[in-house]
Amino acid sequence: MVLKIVAIILCYMLGSVSFSVLLAKLLKGIDIRQHGSGNAGATNTLRVLGKGPAILVLALDVLKGIAAVWIGKWLGGDSEWLPGLCGIAAIAGHNWPVYFRFRGGKGIATAIGVLATLCFLPALYAGIIAILSIVVTRYVSLGSLIFVILTPIFIMIMKFPWPIFWTSLIICVFAVWRHRTNISKLIAGKENKLGSGGKGKGGKRVV
């Protein structure tokens, strides 16, 4: 039991490493949470720092999710729940990082890593539809929401174990909550599209 608790805490600490914040500090000496959308994630990294740093942040954030699930597998023994709980802990760390005053990202890239490791095919099918929606609409937030909403549905259709379904559902709730402002903007038609540049804090456009 102690080892399982340690695994969850370890994964939260791993998730709390915000590569977006660190890279922005390293490359431009800025706090990325004060620029663009104010979000510490790959999409805002693209907006503020460009394609190269954004791809790096995306890959590292996905790897956090993959690593968390494997930590749960290695330390959890026969536990069906621990890999998912470790994944959720990593996403929680990304969203509310202890190292950065609990102001993080929205957890989608880390969720991709978690879900692709736990249930590759459902995540793949949901991901394909999500990517197509982003290509058509250029709304990353919409694609992200489609991904987290469809994955539990595909998990149920494909009859994966219940611990994986409940893990995916919790991840979905996290994502919807973190995207609540985006949802309001999507409904109002005011959401930033991919490549639009966005505006910094206080209404200033980031250059």
The count of domains in the chain is 1
Q: Is residue 205 part of a domain?
A: no
Range of the domain at 174: 2-200
Q: Which of 58, 101, 89, 102 is nearest to 174 (CA)?
A: 89
Q: Is residue 163 part of a domain?
A: yes
Instruction: Tell me the C-alpha distance between 88 and 72, whole Å.
Output: 11
Q: Is residue 56 part of a domain?
A: yes
Tokens 């249930």 belong to residue: 119
Q: Is residue 95 part of a domain?
A: yes
Model-wide pTM > 0.85: yes
pLDDT per residue as tens, the chain (207 positions): 899 999 999 999 999 999 999 999 999 999 999 998 888 999 899 989 999 999 999 999 999 999 999 999 999 888 999 999 999 999 999 999 999 999 999 999 999 999 999 999 999 999 999 999 999 999 999 999 999 999 999 999 999 999 999 999 999 999 999 999 999 999 999 998 887 655 444 333 333
Q: Is residue 71 part of a domain?
A: yes
